Amino acid sequence: MNLSVLDWTIVFVSLGLMILSVEAGRKAMKSVADFLAAGRSAGRYVLCVASGAAGIGAITVVGNLEMNLVAGFSMTWWGMTTALVVLIITVSGWVVYRFRETRSLTLAQYFEERYSREFRIFTGMIAFLSGIVNFGIFPAVEARFFIYFCGLPETISLFGLSISTFPLMMILLIAISLYFVLSGGQVSVIYADFFQGVLVYGVFAILVIYFFISFDWGHVQQALAAAPQDASLINPFHTSQVKDFNFWYFLVGIIGVVYGTMSWQGTQAYNSSAKSAHEAKMASVLTSLRNLPMNVMFLFVPIIAYTVLNHPDFSETAKAVGVTLSGIDGSAVQSQLKVPLVLTHILPRGLIGAFAAMMLAASISTLDAYMHSWGSIIVQDVIQPLRKKAFEPRQHLRMLRLAIIFVGVFAFFFSLLFKQSEYIFLFFAITGAIFAGGSGAVIIGGLYWKRGTTTAAWSAMITGSGIAVAGIIIHQIIPNFFINGQWFWGIAMLGASIVYIVVSLLGKRRDFDFDKLLHRGKYAIAGESDVVTAVPSRGWKILGMGKEFTRGDKIIYILNYVWAGGWLLVFIFGTIYNLTYEVSDESWLLFWRIYLAINVVLSAVVIVWFVIGGFRDLRRMNRRLASSSRDTHDDGFVSDRGQESNK
């Protein structure tokens, strides 16, 4: 085994603390709305940290380490422009603000209110199928990680039988996650994910600081400089031969950030859990700062791993990693395990345990959130709309729990039988596009365009899903097809958007009543928020700060402007300079070292800030859940189709 007694102690103590947090959440859950959306009681910091943990996952860590082992520092340069795009999205409340105003418990509930009940059922089924297929590889990837990182035996003897460790590890991870989510629904998920998020982001920062201080940068420079010409891991302007994770991968991704805001429903309950639309918006604004320790870890640790695998001074370690990899079937699986196996050789005792505990927390936080999401969607958006009347509360909760268990069982068997043949993130892109390829046009058009029609929504969803499914089939028949999963996602987004606009314009003009959908004007709900619920400004003023902003909110906005704007200026001037002069690898590496140092220092500040804010929000959430009265009819059932339907 690779873990010492100290390491295992860290893992089990961390798991014990997670279980205690779940028990606290279980006692606070008292209604269907609590189970689905934590009673809409979460503040910005607990929402930001918990949703971040739910979105990371052990599989996401493995996927990012895998991607940046191929891309190196280079793709981060192009990613600097992402900061501006994300800033515009978050400070404007793009999609998030208006969706929270609908008070929908799921995305497809909003689709019913905006389009039709039949469309809700259709999109609910598409989201569910896309989600469980996408989720299907999670247990496999995460179980393999723990087996090889911890050095567990491939088989164990149980009742005289030799049983593979792989399915047993998957069962263990799924069972723990099911316990978390079944205990108290989204309330327990938020509690657990917040504590897991604190652990995850803290370990991220510790790992980066450790490598930054202890590793010889001369080794890093020599290893990275030996990369093939035009496949540089240091200079982003010499990357024309980098396959898959290159500039074009980034470009499609940045378009997807805007188009796909809130499209992906893996953590959909967090979209409805904020105590107000303003808090949802502020949680979104804080995301860029929350992600700092994660981004630095995902960037720097693969660089260290690449150095170990390619520098002659680490040849013995590289050889040992190679021997282990040679015993693993499938190049895709070998690619996923390279960096984790390197870490088992270069991390000291204690840090190995901290990394294992962090990965366990990341695994559970994503498994519980995803099982909650897909189980909730099949009940809320497929089964319930088919009924003539709503479930009774106890019956409703029982159906939700059974659906969540089904998702866990499906993921186990899918992981057991499916043979992955490409990078994790390319698999995510193409399977996610089954729903997200068309849903972006439907979400944005429905929230912002009065002319958007139900017929256009159907057409866009079918177009986006059809392109994605075609891509999956093609990749199963032709594994090395020249259009990868990311590009199929891009084609799906473009096709669905064009279809939505054209079909809407060709249909009969009928403006939709947004006030009713968004609970504005005469439809406003008294007591919905503890802040002023002014309608946001329009045009360029949308980037400003309205009456609902406190002094602290304004400071957070200004920090985001300064941070994103500063790196954008660095990108602009750096790009102009590099297009004018040849910049050496030594100069680039010095830049990346300064970049890492700045981000590490700020990451430490952010972690302390968000932990303090998160615990404050948890106390307020507790009080809100303890004192608020529950509406038994607040269960996502739309009995009155009073919303106008543009057909």
Could you give the CA distance from residue 377 to residue 386 in angstroms, rounded to a whole number?
Answer: 13
| Spatial contact of 428 and 266, defined as CB atoms under 8 Å apart | no
pLDDT in tens, 77-110: 877 777 677 777 777 778 888 887 888 877 888 8
pLDDT in tens, 578-623: 889 888 888 998 999 999 999 999 999 999 999 999 999 988 888 8
Strands 161-164 and 155-158: antiparallel
Residue predicted with more confidence, 58 or 116: 116
Q: What pLDDT is recorded for position 226? A: 82
Residue entry with tokens 């567990």: 152
Fill in the amino acid letter for 170. M
User: Among the listed ranges 312-326, 396-410, 472-486, which one has the minimum average pLDDT value?
Assistant: 472-486
pLDDT in tens, 276-327: 878 888 888 888 888 889 889 988 999 999 999 999 999 999 999 999 888 8
Report the range out of 11-20, 233-242, 549-558 with the highest average pLDDT: 11-20
pLDDT in tens, 562-576: 888 888 889 889 989
Residue entry with tokens 């600081």: 209
Residue predicted with more confidence, 462 or 257: 462
Count of helix runs (H) and strand runs (E) in the chain: 24, 2
How many Cβ atoms are within 10 Å of 92's Cβ, its own excluded?
19
Fill in the amino acid letter for 483. I
Domains of the chain listed by start with CATH number: 24-421+559-627 (1.20.1730.10), 426-518 (no CATH)
Q: Which of 54, 58, 59, 23 is nearest to 425 (CA)?
A: 59
Measured over the CA atoms of residue 272, residue 274, residue 275 and residue 277, the dihedral's sign is: negative
Fill in the amino acid letter for 370. Y
pLDDT in tens, 163-190: 899 999 999 999 999 998 888 888 888 8
First to last CA, the chain: 62
CA distances from 50 to 32, 57, 186, 362, 614 (A): 20, 12, 11, 11, 9
Assign 354 a pLDDT band (cuts: 50, 70, 90). very high
Q: What pLDDT is recorded for position 449? A: 92
Q: What share of the chain in percent tops pLDDT 70? A: 89
Pseudo-torsion of CA 56, 57, 63, 65, nearest 10°? Answer: 70
| Spatial contact of 531 and 278, defined as CB atoms under 8 Å apart | yes
pLDDT in tens, 507-529: 888 888 888 888 887 877 765 54
The contacts of residue 383 (CB under 8 Å, 6+ apart) are 399, 403
Could you give the CA distance from residue 77 to residue 69 in angstroms, rounded to a whole number?
Answer: 15
Q: Which of 643, 174, 577, 528 is nearest to 370 (CA)?
A: 174
Assign 539 a pLDDT band (cuts: 50, 70, 90). very low
Q: Which of 346, 352, 324 is nearest to 3 (CA)?
A: 352
Cα 276 to chain centroid distance, Å, stands at 22
Cα atoms in the 13 Å half-sphere on the side-chain side of 404: 30
The contacts of residue 251 (CB under 8 Å, 6+ apart) are 78
Residue entry with tokens 């100069």: 587
Q: What pLDDT is recorded for position 129? A: 87
Which of the 8 DSSP states describes residue 162? E
Could you give the CA distance from residue 87 to residue 293 in angstroms, rounded to a whole number?
Answer: 18
Q: What pLDDT is recorded for position 444? A: 93
Where are any strands of DSSP class E within 29-86? none
